Amino acid sequence: MLSPLLALKEVSVHFGTANRPVTAVENVSFSLSEGERLVLVGPSGCGKSTLLATVGGFLRPSAGHVLLDGVPVRRPGPDRMMVFQEFDQLLPWKSVAANIAYPLRLAGVTREVASARAEALIHQVGLTGFGDAFPHMLSGGMKMRVAIARALAAPPRLLLMDEPFAALDALTRRRMQEELLRLWHEHVFTLLFVTHSIEEAVLLGSRILVLSPHPGRVQAVLEVPEDRAARAALQADLHRLLLPEPADV
């Protein structure tokens, strides 16, 4: 078996002062191989976003190791592109096309090649004709499309997504989920996705890691089956796991 693309080894993250330490994540280990879609799911306070920020290099683990291709992660970098939940993650002073081309330009790609690639991505995320628009002219869903296109522009080793669809309306969210899967089939990237929605986790993940809160610990790791009925069963299992009372829907 190949060595994993990403490996977390007994990672703990503490916040707060020496007097009142807060443990956000405790002793979490998992690994992720190429082309996988791992979804971290759990209630708020389970440290899933903290874990993602640690993989992104924005936070240092208090204990344990985060290894990307066997090398410890020290700082943020374009090999782990992050899509944030906030709509203000686009650079307001750059057009849609320039935002998407920016990672390529920073990587030393020529202007022509970068804009050709940006144009192709604009088309793929369904924003044809909006290349010259500035971010403030776009709706929330459109901004998210641009952010995803930008994250894929210079193909990262790992795509990190921190509840990217949580602030969208239900219809847009649904459509974005399907389009993310379509993009995955086209680009086959490796995805680490954080959500608190069980439905989203089952829909998007090839594997689901359930975290328990206070502090965040691995509660369960579940493979997502292809079969529709088996997925529905998994969803019901997850509901039982995460909600103490049976959900009366």
Partner 1 sequence: MFDGARPQPPAGPLAAEAAWKPTLRRAGVLLVLGLAWEGYGRWIDNDLVFPTLSATLAAFWRLTISGELPARALASLEVLALGYGAGLALATLLVLLAVASRFGSELLATLTAMFNPLPAIALLPLALLWFGLGTPSLVFVITHSVLWAVALNAHAGVQAIPPTLRRVGENLGLRGWRLTLRILLPAALPAVIAGLKIGWAFAWRTLIAAELVFGTTSRSGGLGWFIFERRNNLQIDEVFAGLLAVIAIGLVVEGVVFRTIEARTIRRWGLQR
Which positions from 6 to 45 touch partner 1 by CB under 8 A, shown as an x/- string? ----------------------------------------
Given candidates 141, 164, 205, 215, which one binds partner 1 under the rule CB under 8 A? Answer: 141
What's the CA gap between 58 and 161, in Å, rounded?
Answer: 14
- Closer to partner 1 by Cβ: residue 37 or 173: 173
In angstroms, give the least distance from the CB of 198 to partner 1: 24
Interface with partner 1, residue 81, by CB under 8 A? yes
Q: Is 88 in the site for partner 1 (CB under 8 A)?
A: yes
- Stretch touching partner 1 by CB under 8 A, among 4-12, 25-33, 56-64, 231-239: 56-64
Nearer to partner 1, 22 or 91 (CB): 91
- What's the min distance (Å) between Cβ of 80 and partner 1? 8
Q: How far apart are CA 209 and CA 220, in angstroms?
A: 6
Which residue of 142, 161, 203, 208 would you call a contact of partner 1, by CB under 8 A? 142
| Residue 134 lies near partner 1 (rule: CB under 8 A) | yes
Cα(3)–Cα(123) distance, integer angstroms = 35
| Member of 171, 244, 245, 249 binding partner 1 (CB under 8 A) | 171
Point out which residues bind partner 1 (CB under 8 A): 56-58, 75-78, 80-82, 84, 86, 88-89, 91-93, 102-103, 106, 126-128, 130, 134-139, 141-142, 145, 169, 171-172, 175
